[in-house]
A = this chain, B = another copy of it.
Amino acid sequence: MSRMLSIEPLTKEAFAPFGSVIETDRASMRLINGGNTERFHALARVDVVGAGAIINIFRGQPRAFPYALAMMERHPLGSQSFSPVDDRPWLVVVAADEGGRPGRPRVFLASGRQGVNYGRNVWHHPLMALGAASDFIVVDREAPGDNLEEFFYDEAFVIPDPL
């Protein structure tokens, strides 16, 4: 099987097995604050076990392509969300679990207005910013140190330049 990965557009439906897409979809909208504000409600749920949740900012340096993807990680004790604040596209890389290790990665191209919430224990690649250093609002579990599992593939996959 080819080690070259293809890139899919990020949609709620395609991403559903891995978590939630955080974007302004009409179905979730309710007017609040006397009509001043549209609330896109409950786009994702924070799912943390045995500790509280925190809000962080991650600043990711842009990745170079073609990218050799050699590892994946997951957080057994908590979901982790990424919401871009620089309106710049980025890559979301996830994999189904196959007996305790990640299967073939799937690569989604997110717009600069799309965030995701990785479900608890879902394999994913660390942050992949594109083009320039980019900031993300991140909601995850306190004490990330005891909540990390990494896996290294025998042979790297390759992500082509998405832009």
Q: Which residues of A contact B (CB under 8 A)?
A: 22-24, 32-34, 36-47, 52-61, 63, 81, 83-87, 113, 115, 117, 126-127, 135, 137-139, 142
Chain B residues in 8 Å Cβ range of A34: 126
Interface pairs (27), CB distance under 8 Å: A34-B126, A36-B60, A36-B126, A36-B127, A37-B60, A38-B59, A39-B57, A39-B58, A39-B138, A40-B58, A40-B59, A43-B56, A44-B55, A45-B52, A45-B53, A45-B55, A46-B53, A46-B55, A47-B52, A55-B115, A55-B139, A83-B137, A84-B85, A85-B85, A85-B137, A137-B137, A139-B139
Chain B residue contacts of A83, Cβ below 8 A: 55, 83, 85, 137
Does B54 contact A41, Cβ atoms closer than 8 Å? yes
Query: Using Cβ atoms and an 8 Å threshold, which residues of chain B touch A126?
Result: 32-34, 36-37
Report how far A71 CA is from B52 CA in the complex, Å.
31
Known: A87-B85, A126-B33. A40 touches B57 (CB 8 A): yes
Which residue from chain B places its CB closest to the CB of A46 in the assembled complex?
A: B53
- Give Cα A32–Cα B24 distance, bound, in whole angstroms: 30
Tell me the bound Cα distance from A36 to B75 in angstroms: 19
A54:B46 contact, CB within 8 angstroms: yes
CB distance from A149 to the nearest CB of B (A): 15
- 4 nearest A-B pairs in the assembled complex, by CB-CB distance: A33-B126, A46-B53, A44-B55, A40-B57
